[in-house]
Amino acid sequence: MTAADPTEVATRQIKRALRLLASDSSEQINYLQELGVSPDEIALEFDDAFRRAKGASEMGLLPKEVMAAAQPVGEHLKQMTDSSVEIWTKDGLGSSPEWQLLRSLAKEAIVKVSKITE
């Protein structure tokens, strides 16, 4: 068995995390129900992927532009963690402007990351 290419793994993970963040609320809720976790899991998955991508970028394995494309998503998530508890509920996923903006930022980031990595 060969080791996975760290660039490929980091790219795949950041794209997957961004796609989840960009998904509509019903898809996100279905995903969370399948896992049996709360909405903050979506943010945690992005954070894990972002940290892996950052490490790959710092080692020169992933273009810095990938990090620049994902940075606004990370910054907005940080602001959201400092927000009210109500946005971190299933109802909040569907109704809060914070999640709507996050989806928009994630969609923009996916387009940019895809252009950079393909």
Query: Where are the chain's structural domains?
Result: 6-117
Of the candidates 85, 100, 115, which has an alpha carbon nearest to the alpha carbon of residue 22? 100
Contact indicator for 105, 74 with CB cutoff of 8 Å: no
Is residue 6 pLDDT above 90, yes or no?
no
What's the rounded mean pLDDT across residues 6-24? 93
Contacts of 106 (CB under 8 A, 6+ apart): 18, 19, 21, 22, 73
Q: Rounded to an integer, what distance in angstroms lies between the CA atom of residue 33 and that of residue 20?
A: 14
What's the rounded mean pLDDT across residues 33-46? 94
Q: Rounded to an integer, what distance in angstroms lies between the CA atom of residue 117 and that of residue 23?
A: 21
Q: State the DSSP H helix or E strand holding residue 115, giving kind and residue range, or none if neither.
A: helix 97-117
What digits encode the pLDDT tens for the residues 53-105? 999 999 998 999 999 999 999 999 999 988 878 899 999 999 999 999 999 99
What's the rounded mean pLDDT across residues 8-23? 94
